[in-house]
Amino acid sequence: MLIRVLPALMLSLLLAAGAWAISPRDQGSPLLPDLEQEAPSQLVITRAGGEYRLGFRSAVRNVGAGPLIISGHRSERSIDEMVADQVITEAGAPNAVVNDVGSLRYVVSPDHRHWHLLAFQRYALTTVGGKVVVRDRKTGFCLGDRYAATSSPEGKRYTSRCGLGQPARLGIEEGISPGYGDAYDANLEGQYLPLTGLPNGRYVLVHRVNGDGRLHELRADNDAASVLLSLRWRDGVPRVNVLAVCAFSARCR
C-alpha cells in the first residue's frame, strides 16, 4: 500500500480547490487513530420479510491520539464509487496520505441517503469454535463524532451527515475525532442478522472494525468484540439469551 506525504504546496492547492486537509500540530510523530470496537448491545428480535432477525447496536470509538480522517474522491460523476484515502496528521510535518484504503458509495434506502464508507465494520454469527454461519449485508457507514467516548474529549470535528441528499459530489470527508465514537442503533439499515434456519445452540455475535487492516491505526488487538448467545426456538419463535460479553475478542465462551 502506497503512503505518500503531501508537501505544503500541494496542501495549498488542495485547499484552494476545495479539498480537505488537516493542519499539523506543533511537535511529535504521526498521530494515529486507535479504533476500539465496542461489544454488541441492545439485542432485540424482530420479524420482517418473513424472517426473524437479531438486531443490535454497534459502536466504534477512537481512543487514539489522532483522528481517523477519510477523504473520498472521484474524477467524474459517472463513476459510482469514490476512492477512500486516509489522511494521517503528523505533528510538525506535512500530513501523510494512505491511498485507497476503501471505497465510498452513495446509498439510497428508507433511512439512508448519503455517502457510506464500505466495510468499516463487519458483523457475523459464528459457532463457539469460530465458524461463520451468518454474515452481515450492511451497505456501509456514515462516520462521525456521534457520542463522547471519554470524559473530556476535544471539540467535535465530524458532525456532518455525509453528503445527505448530495449524490453528485466529487469529494467528501468523514471521520472520528479522538475521544468520540460512531454508533448505529439496532435494526437501522443492516444492523441485524437473520436467525431463520439456525438450529438451537450457542452462537457468538462478533463485531469487527477494520477487518481487512487497510486503515492505519495504533493497534489492532481491540478491533473485535463479541457476545456469547443461547438461541432456542419455541413454537416457531426464537429466544436469545446473552451468556457472556467479551471485549477485545472475537471468541467468547
What confidence score (pLDDT) does residue 4 get?
Answer: 40
What confidence score (pLDDT) does residue 14 get?
Answer: 38
Query: How do strand 121-126 and strand 237-246 relate by DSSP bridges?
Result: unpaired
Residue 80 lies in a domain: yes
What confidence score (pLDDT) does residue 28 get?
Answer: 52
Q: Which domain holds residue 184?
A: 3-246
Residue 151 phi/psi, 5° resolution?
-70, -30
Query: How do strand 132-135 and strand 121-126 relate by DSSP bridges?
Result: antiparallel
Interatomic CA distance for residues 128 and 253, integer angstroms: 7
User: Is 111:188 a contact under the CB 8 Å cutoff?
Assistant: yes
What confidence score (pLDDT) does residue 109 get?
Answer: 83
Residue 253 lies in a domain: no
Q: Tens place of pLDDT for every residue, the chain, 253 residues?
A: 333 444 433 333 333 333 333 333 444 589 999 999 999 999 999 999 899 999 999 999 999 999 999 999 999 999 999 999 999 998 878 899 999 999 999 999 877 799 999 999 999 999 999 999 999 999 899 999 999 998 888 889 999 999 999 999 999 999 999 999 999 999 998 999 999 999 999 999 999 999 999 999 999 999 999 999 999 999 999 999 999 999 999 999 9
Name every residue whose Cβ is closer than 8 Å to that of residue 143 and which is 6 or more positions away in sequence.
68, 70, 117, 120, 158, 162, 174, 175, 176, 182
The residue type at 90:
E
Counting the structural domains of the chain, the total is 1
Interatomic CA distance for residues 143 and 84, integer angstroms: 13
Residue 251 lies in a domain: no
pTM, full prediction = 0.87
Task: Please give the sequence-ordered ranges of beta strands (E in DSSP) within the chain, or none if there are none.
Answer: 3-5, 30-31, 35-37, 41-48, 51-62, 68-73, 81-90, 96-109, 112-117, 121-126, 132-135, 147-148, 171-176, 180-184, 192-194, 201-209, 224-234, 237-246
For residue 16, give the H/E element and its range.
helix 8-16
User: Is 236:228 a contact under the CB 8 Å cutoff?
Assistant: no
Interatomic CA distance for residues 134 and 245, integer angstroms: 19
